[in-house]
Structure formats: structure tokens, C-alpha cells
Structure 1
Amino acid sequence: MTLAKLAMVGPRKALNQAAGASMLLKKGHTASSGLEEATLRNVEACRDISTITRTSMGPNGMNKLVVNHLGKIIVTSDCATIVKELEIEHPAARMLQLAAESQDFECGDGTNLVVSFAGELLAQTENLFRMGLHPSDVVSGFSKAGDKLLNEFLPPLAEIMQPVSSGRDKDEIIRATKPVLAAKHLGSENILAPLVAEACLGTMSSTGKASFSVESVRVAKILGGDVTQSHVVHGFVALRGLETTLSAAKDAKVVVFSCGMEASATEAKGTVLMKNADDLKNYNKSEEKKMEEIIKGIADSGVKVCVSGGTVSEMALHFIERYGMLCLKVGSKWELRRLCVATGATALVRLGAPTPDEMGHCDHVHQKEVGGRPITVFAQSDGSKTSKLSTIVLRASTSSVLADLERAIDDGVHAAKTACKDGRFVPGAGATEMALSLKVKAFADTCPGLDQYAIRAFGKALEVVPRTLSENAGLDQGSVIAALGAAHASGKASAGVDIDDMGVDGASGVSSQTSVLDLYSTKASALKLAIDASLTVLRVDQIIMSKQAGGA
């Protein structure tokens, strides 16, 4: 049979040739195209999501109360957490969400700048489209302005402030992390910044360039008390007490079992026939003897602390007590791995005496009560040399405040890591954005053609940061932007918004020499991600969505 005949086999389906693109796709799809239906709707969605997060920018940013699909209440001003918990469905707004998550993963800070600046860039395009500019003209102008900003205008601003020299000085790390912590939790930065610096320095390598892993700094949240009661432990903190009556050991060898400390079950089912009471006694004695041999072998190897990843039987606990050892049960395999990192132990899958290479060491293991809750502390006496893990024991009055402080500390640790890689700073408090805005506008005056309108709109979009900071602080944004622009035009490149100084007439709010610092790497990454996300949205001229799978 020829191909032509094969093609005619089977029932024919009448196709409506006049239906256009809807004929190509299954029933239930949606498609929108053109400037009005696709581009402007994408711009509107991105502008809406940036409007939600913009009021949370800066030290005076407001919190958002989000109730997720599981009913969990989240109170935070962290932009990455907000956009993640909102469960955004619009594909264009999802691009801003992904950009914010990338910024949070790489640098920890600057997520609100990504969403706010990208949203403002796209909001500026509405006037350009009404003027008659084509989206390709806008994309071309934004691309030119972005390249000029990142390659020529931004790097000179990093020479104004004194950079981090070595990355091993506590004061330098505090200087790098304090603005990040203040932006997330104003009022606690003077308490949290020294804790973050101490925890980072405790896990930093003693040789070579200063560096550490953000996974090496953990947070143990204990409800109750005040944030001033928080402290750093160079080691591991388990949020549960010991299983044994002994509660402390010094200079202890530690063995970690990923399995439970109990009699192992047989692989095959069997039946034991007991004829009298002596058979029952002998059966129990043999099981006890075997368990005692195992625990005695562990004790003879010099181990003082046993950690189990599973259940600990009463028989095993009895012999552990007899031989004067401590026992801790850790249910989470992630916590077990962190304990192995802190002590240098190897998690064993067999129950028996460990070799010297498999044992870990801890200078001081003890149980104590914090906030009415027993915890077990594995502390090293000299954290800068022997500990590979630091734990910040965090105290607060409510669980929502604890979670918000944990997010702030996570951003501060990322900032400290970024400062170790690239210790350059740029002026904060909107000073960098205002300086870049003036330079981009001046660059627009030198560009012929239609690109100059898009470049000038790009420069105006940069003013969103000082404008938002002044709005969130309750200042007159018009007066602040005018005074800030005049200060930068007169050569004061580090002039920024001062939320504390209201000025003589109560409307100035501008500091000629801002004390707020932003890391250069964080700022450059945030601006680049915002530009890339906005250009991606502008390059879309058609949205085609298939019918969702599943039932009603």
C-alpha cells in the first residue's frame, strides 16, 4: 500500500480552516498575542508583583503575612520568601520569582532589588509603547544601558568605600553583614552581626584564602527568652536531651551509628521451641550476652559518647549505663551528618566497636536546659582550629519571629561569604542607584535614534530604590529625590537616603555621606538578574497555554 493510501486509512476529521491557530492545538488551550494582549499584560503582571514586594524594601519595610496552602502562617519582609510562598501562576511574573530565587541562592541579599527594579523597568515601557516605540527598540535601548551600567558605570563606585582586606577580621565581617541584617530585622543587627561574624570565623579555614561553606553555620531555634540571649556554639547542638543519666563528658571520643542500637532481626522467619523455663532463661541470657559483648567492645575502644540514628533498646541502654558512656538519639539523617562534620566521625551502618579512623572527637559534650527545653551540646574548646561547624542558638518570643530571624541570619552568612570572595563595597541607601541614574541619563543624551528614549526610561527606573526607601520611611519622596539628585550632581557620589535625619525642615532626609554599605558583587548580580528578567519578558510577543492536566 502506498503512503498516499495509508494516509487516507481511518476516519477523517473535519478541520475548520478558518479557525486559524486554534485549529492547531487541543480544545481548552488559551493563546494571546500582540502588544495589547501579550506584552502589556505581562508588564502589568510583573508590575503588580513588584508593587507587592516594594513596600518591604529597606530597614523600614513592612512585613507580609502569608498563609500558604498548608495553612502555615509566615510573617516576613524577605522578598524571596514572599514570592515563593505566593505560588505565582502567571508565567511572566514567575520569571521575576525565579530571578529572585537565583539571587537568594547566590548572594542571599538583594532579592527585593531584583523584583522592584525589574518591575519598574517594565512599568516604564508602558509610556514608551504609547509613544509608538516597538518592543525591539525598547529591548535594544535597555540592553545598551544595562551593558554600560554593569561594565563602565558601576565598577568606579566600588572604589569609594574601603574594601574588606583579609576576610578574617571580625570587625570587617560585622561591617559587611550589619546592613543586610538591618534590612531584614531592624533593631537586632547590633546583636546578630557579632554572632554571625563569630560563627563564620569559627568555621573558616586557617590556611589559604578566607573561605567557608554556608552549610557550616547552622541555627538552633529555641522558643522563649529574648534575642539578646542568643549565643554561638563552636560545634553541634541537638535539640533533645541525652538518653542516659550521665550528662557530661570531656575530651570524649564519639561514635555515630546510622542504625539503631538494638538486637538485629533475622533475615528469615524462624520458630524457637522452648520445653521448660530453663530454655527461656538461657535464650534471654544469650541475647543479653551478645549485646553486652557489643557494648563492651565499644567501651574498650575508648568511646565515651554513642550517637544512634535509630531506636536504642532498653537492654543496650542498660549496658551503656553500666560502662559509663553517654547516649544520644538523633532522628534526622541530616542532623546526623552535621554531627559527623562537627566531630569528625564516620556514620557506621553496623553495630560494633569502631576503628580509630571511624571515631570522632569532641572536647566537651554536655546536656543543659535552655528555655525549659533540654539540649545536648557538642562543643569544641577552640572553634577556630578544631570545629568545622558552628551553631547559633537563637532565642525569641514567638515562632514567627524565630523564623524571620533565621532568614536574616541566613542572608547575613551569605553576605559574609560574598565578602570573603569579593570584599568591595558600594554606597548604600539608594546612593548607588541615584549615581547610576544620572550617568545613564547623561549617556542617553549622547545616543541618537529611538534608543535614547528607552535608555532615559532605564535611568528613571533606577530612581525606584531611593524613592521606595523614602516612602517606606514616611518621607516626602519628591523632596528626597530632588535633594538627592542635587547632591549627586554636585559631586557627592556617596549621598544617600537618611531615614533617621529628617533635616531642618523635616523634609530633607538626605545624608551627604551615607554610612550604609552594600556589597559590590551582590549589587551587580541583582541588577544583572533584574535586567535579564525584564528583557526576557519584553521579548515575548505571544503566550500559548495548553489545557491543564487533571480533572475539575
Structure 2
Amino acid sequence: MGNQPLIVLSEDSQRTTGRDAQSMNITAGKAVAEAVRTTLGPKGMDKMLVDSTGNVVVTNDGVTILDEMDIEHPAANMIVEVAQTQEDEVGDGTTTAVVIAGELLAKAEDLLEQDIHATILAQGYRQAAARAKELLEEMAIDVSEDDTELLEQIAATAMTGKGAESAKEDLAELVVQAVRAVADEEGIDTDNVKVEKVVGGSIEESELIEGVIINKERVHDNMPYFKEDANIALLDTAIEVKETEIDAEVNVTDPDQLQQFLDQEERQLKEMVDKLVEVGADVVFCQKGIDDMAQHYLAQEGIIAVRRAKKSDMKRLARATGGRVVSNVDDIEADDLGFAGSVAEKDIGGDERIFVEDVEQAKSVTLVLRGGTEHVVDEVERAIEDALGVVRVTLDDGKVLPGGGAPETELALELRDYADSVGGREQLAIESFADAIDVVPRMLAENAGLDPIDSLVDLRSKHSGGQRTSGLDAYTGEVIDMEEEGVVEPLRVKTQAVESATEAAVMILRIDDVIAAGDLKGGSSDDDDEDMDMPPGGGMGGMGGMGGMGGAM
């Protein structure tokens, strides 16, 4: 080959190696964390996100912000995955996880410049994360599932700083009732708590319906609006005459023959309705269609019928009423029917919906959320979802931690001591991990308009004196006992945040070669790069979608 270079990549490929690759990826990760860090804590600010069609989302929910920002850079997407994992596993703490990941990358950058190898950094970070989880377990406070007051405080803490804060006590009460209602032997599935949003009224007017609300109307105007002590039939088959599955042709030579066909169809439909009447059904929810003639017969019998109900709604109805979904009208038995004390069509927010209520031991419930505008209701819904997640996790694990930056301050102190006991260069990585964890109380103070240095000094002084539950009150700026104050959050929120953030940071640090099939900067326009305010080296590599946020960061 002589001295000829051997080219194995296509001409369109772009390759970044060594320190440049690390620097580019770290910069991308830090930019994502930078985008959400001002939303952290009870005094966190909101972001306004406008998509290409002009839809507006106003929120300070970390995962929502990162989902709405159309991020394309592969390393930045790894940080977004941290938020998504946190949301899926726990339901809260997404901003905390992302901010810690960003800070871990920032501290690692300093060490890389001091010629500490990325593998040593990764090892040190992993050791620190393992020790941090042990320390968090030691700090955890046991909570009983019967402790309603504490569970409500946990739900309220998750909603603090979000749009629902003005009514967080009322909403926290509803959330705890809802989670307890849907709990069964298999655990707690918060999907059984359906959230219905209604624009109009105030947040305080939100309510919990122990039953199901179906976003449908009666199929026929002559049907009753209300049924008391109703037996409910659930069908996933149509109340229609079945068509032949093969192409058949019928020659009619006489008008009487046509009438016989029509009469036969009517008879079949009447038989289906008669079968429902025979088993005692007062209400019929059908997943598929209901023939016009069948609607007429059902209305004659005084039966309320709903057609084309969603599959998810059918599952909720079955769970709430104790009924079974039947696939063939001929096979339905009285035992298959569900029961509800009340089924009624009511107006809610200008829409007619079917309320299935007064259900004994409803294992599927509905939270009706109200708010003055659509944006307010959407943000209340996000707060409620976080609260449902933390209450579920608390009931599963039975352990909580104080809030207000108390666990992070304690971790930072303990990890610095732990670093002294670890030999080698990993010690530097563990110390950097401790510094990175400090970002949480620092940002809580900063976002509340307090002096972060004074707040950190106060916190460290209390924790050094053995007051492990001392945290920062963002409203007064004082350091208080968070456990006494009732500001607590599930243990798993913190352990998951530390674990996800560490794994993402380590993965990014271990990358020393980025080979892209096309130009990594392809996703960005010049304006976008200016918006991101990124340094030139390595570029942001296609974080194009973030540019759309403009000055939101």
C-alpha cells in the first residue's frame, strides 16, 4: 500500500476522536442539564415550549420539557433517557436526575483536563454511586401504609412548585384516596386512576369519582338519562347482523322476498336485545357498533346503551363494576353483568359524558381535574401524575427521605469522608461526585433567589453537627428539620436519580470516538447554534430542535 491512506468510511461520514469527542459529548450533556436546572425546587421557574405548529406548553416538569424539545444530538439524548427512566420508574425527580448527570459531566471535564483517564473516572463514579445508595438506605425513614397524613405530605411535596401548588393539600388528599382505591393483591397500577380534564372552575373544585367516566353519550335520545342500581353488560362484539365472510350474491325476483330479508334482520336484532333483557341488563357498553334498529329496541326496553367505547374504558368498567367483557351476545349470562349504584349521562365542561358511580370497592377510579385555562389544567395533570407515582412508590417500598436538599448535603459530606478511605486516582473522582451532588441544594437556593454559598454553609454546618434531616426552606431561606415539617419524598426517587445519572455520565465519558453517517451538525441552523450559545470546539452536533426554544433557557 505504500504510504497511501486507507479510507474505510464513506465521504459523507464525520468522525470525531479522543478529547474532541469527549468534549463534544460532555458539552451536549451539560446543555441539556442547563435547559432544566432553573426549574428545580418549589421556586423553580417555568419554560414555555412552542412547537412547529404553534402549540404552546408551559411547564416546569423536567421530562415534559425534554420531550417537547426536539433534541437530536446522540449524547444529549442519553441524558434525556435519564429523565424518561426516572419518570417511568418513579414518576418524579426527573429534573434532579438530569441536573446531577450534567454536573457529573462538568466535574469529569475538569479531571479529564488534569489527565485523569476516563476509565478511572468511570470506576470512581460507580464506587461513589454504590456508596451513595447505601447511605441513602441508612438515612431512610420507615413509613406505614396507614399513615394517611404522611402520604398526603409526600403527594403535596411532589406537587410543590408546579401549577397545582395553590390547591396541593386538596389534591394530595384526592391522590392518596385514588391510589388506595386501586390497590389490590397484585400491587398498585396507577393506570387504573383515569384523569379527566375539564376547563372551567377552579383547581379546588377537582374531585374524585369512585367509578368510571366514559367520554360518550347515549346512542338514542329515547333512552333514559339515569339508571339506579344498574346491571351493566359489557360487550366487545357489535349488536348488528353479521355479514357473510364470502362474497355472496342474492337475486331478488319478488318485492316480498326483500321484505322477508329485512324482517329476518329485524328478528335477529330483536333476539339480541331480548337476550340482554332476559339476563337483566339495564345498561349496555358496546366496544363496537349498534345497529339503528337495535338502538330502537333497546330504547323501547328502557336500556341505556353506549357504542364504540374504547378498549381501555371497557377494561376500567370491568374492573370497577366487577363485570366480564363478553364476545358473543348469545353467550351472556347474568353472572357476567357488572353492578353500579348509579349510571347517568351528565354535562361536564360543556360535554355530555356517562358517569358510572357508587361502585362497591371500585378498583378503577377517575380524577376530575378543573382549572381556569387549558394550560393550567394540563400542568395540574402533570403534577397529579407525579404525585400518583410517588405515593405508589412509597406504598411499595415503605421508605422516605427528607426533602429540601437534606439527603444530598449528607451524601456530599459522607462521600468526601469515603473518598479519603479509597486509594488511587479514583479518590479524585469520588470527591468530584460529592461536589456534583451538592448541585441540588445549590440550585434550590439559587432558584429561590437566595445566596447559594450562604445556604450551603448553613446546611453543611447543621449536617456536620449530626442533624441529618436538616434541609433548606426555599420560602424563608432558613435551614429547618424537613422531617418535622413534613417535606418528604420516596427513597426510590433519590436512589433512581443517582443510579440513572451515574450510568448516563459514565457511558458518555467512556466514548472516545464518534462516527456519524452524515454531518452531525446537520440538525442545526446557524440561528439554533446561536440560541444554544455553544462553544465552537466539536459543535453541538444536531441539537437543532433545541433552538426552537429560543430564549427559554
Report the TM range for the smaller structure's normalisation. 0.7 to 0.9
SS at match of 2:136: helix
Q: 2:160 is paired with a residue of what secondary structure? A: helix
Residue 343 of structure 1 and its aligned partner are, at CA, apart by: 2.3
Matches within 5 A, 1:292-303: 292-303=270-281
| Alignment partner of 1:528 is 2:496 | no
| TM-score of the two chains, using structure 2 as the length reference | 0.87
Secondary structure of 1:220's partner? strand
| 1:242 aligned partner, one-letter code | R
The partner residue of 2:192 within 200, 213, 216 is 216
- Report what 1:28 is aligned to: 12
Q: Does 1:510 align with 2:479?
A: yes
- More divergent stretch after superposition (78-87 vs 465-474): 78-87
How far is 1:259 from its partner?
A: 3.1
Superposition pairs of residues 418-429 of structure 1, within 5 angstroms: 418-429=393-404
Query: Does the CA-based 8 Å contact 1:63-1:76 persist in structure 2?
Result: yes
Residue 489 of structure 2 aligns to a residue whose secondary structure is strand
The CA distance in 1 between the partners of 2:519 and 2:170, in whole Å, is: 49
Q: How far did 1:193 drift?
A: 0.5
Partner Cα distance (2:23, 2:334) in 1: 67
Residue of structure 1 equivalent to 2:42: 59
2:212, 2:316 within 8 Å by CA — same for their partners in 1?
A: yes
Distance 1:547 1:260 in 2: 52
Q: What is the percent sequence identity of the aligned residues?
A: 29
Equivalent position of 1:202 in the other structure: 181
1:513–1:298 Cα change, 3 Å: closer
- Which residue number in structure 2 is paired with residue 476 of structure 1? 451
Question: 1:403-453 CA deviation, whole Å, 9 max, x = no partner?
Answer: 222222222111111111212111111011011111112222344432332
State the match for 1:234 in structure 2.
210
Q: State the SS of the aligned residue for 1:544.
A: strand
Distance change >3 Å, CA 548–CA 256, structure 1 → 2: farther
1:353 Cα deviation after fit:
5.8
Q: Kindly state the Cα deviation for residue 99 of structure 1 after the two structures are TM-superposed.
A: 1.8
Residues 50, 388 of structure 1: alpha-carbon distance in 2 compared, 3 angstrom cutoff: same
Specify which of 489, 496, 502 is matched with residue 471 of structure 2: 496
SS in 1 for 2:455: helix
Does the 8 Å contact 2:216/2:309 carry over to 1? no
AA of the residue aligned to 1:275: D
Preserved CA contact (<8 Å) 1:202 1:388 = yes
The residue identity in structure 1 corresponding to 2:268 is: K
1:225 to 201, 207, 215: 201
Compare CA radii of gyration and give the structure with the larger one: 1
**Residue 534 of structure 2 corresponds to which residue in structure 1?**
none
2:435 is aligned with what amino acid?
K
Task: State the 1:89 CA deviation.
Answer: 1.6
Residues 297 and 155 of structure 1: is their aligned pair in 2 closer, same or farther, counting only changes over 3 Å?
Answer: closer
In the TM superposition, what whole-angstrom CA distance separates every residue of 1:465-520 from its partner, at most 9, and x where no partner exists? 01111111111112211222222222221111111214xxxxxx322556211211
The aligned counterpart of 2:266 is 288
Match of 1:362 among 336, 340, 343: 340
CA distances 1:143-201 after superposition (whole Å, capped 9, x unpaired): 222222222x222211xx4x221x24433421322211224432231121111111111
Instruction: From 121, 138, 157, give the equivalent of 2:121.
Output: 138
Once residues 148 and 219 of structure 2 are traced to their aligned partners in structure 1, the CA distance between those partners, rounded to angstroms, is 38
> Match for 2:5: what amino acid?
A
Partner of 1:389: 364
Of 6, 10, 24, 1:41 maps to: 24
Match for 2:110: what amino acid?
N
Normalized against structure 1, the TM-score is what? 0.88
How far the C-alpha of 1:291 sits from its partner, in A, is 1.6
Distance change in 2, residues 1:495/1:119 (3 Å): same
What is aligned with 1:344?
A: 322
Give the C-alpha shift of residue 328 in structure 1. 1.4
Change (3 A) 1:69 1:353: farther
Conserved 8 A contact 1:109-1:411 = yes
Q: CA deviation at 1:71?
A: 4.7
Amino acid at match of 1:409: I
Structure 2 counterpart SS, 1:249 = strand
Please give the alpha-carbon distance, in whole angstroms, between the structure 2 residues aligned to 1:301 and 1:548: 67
Paired residues of 2:210 and 2:357 also in contact (CA < 8 A): yes
RMSD: 2.4
Aligned CA distance change for structure 1 residues 536 and 463 (closer, same or farther; 3 Å) = same
Does the residue aligned with 2:332 lie in a helix, a strand or coil?
A: coil
Number of the residue aligned with 1:271: 250
Report the secondary structure of 1:180's partner residue: helix
Question: Secondary structure at the residue paired with 2:9?
Answer: coil
Contact 2:322 2:338 in 1 (8 A): yes
- In 2, Cα distance between equivalents of 1:55 and 1:272: 75
Asked if 2 retains the 8 angstrom alpha-carbon contact of 1:294 and 1:353, the reply is no
Q: Is the 8 A contact 1:298 1:353 kept in 2?
A: no
Q: Aligned with 2:305: secondary structure?
A: strand
- Counterpart Cα distance in 2 of 1:266 and 1:330: 22
- Corresponding pairs, count: 516
* Contact 2:232 2:338 (C-alpha < 8 Å) held by counterparts: yes
* Equivalent position amino acid for 2:432 in 1: A
Cross-structure match for 1:189: 168
Amino acid at match of 2:337: M
> 2:541: which partner in 1?
none
For structure 1, the residue ranges without an aligned partner over 5 or more in a row are: 1-14, 503-508
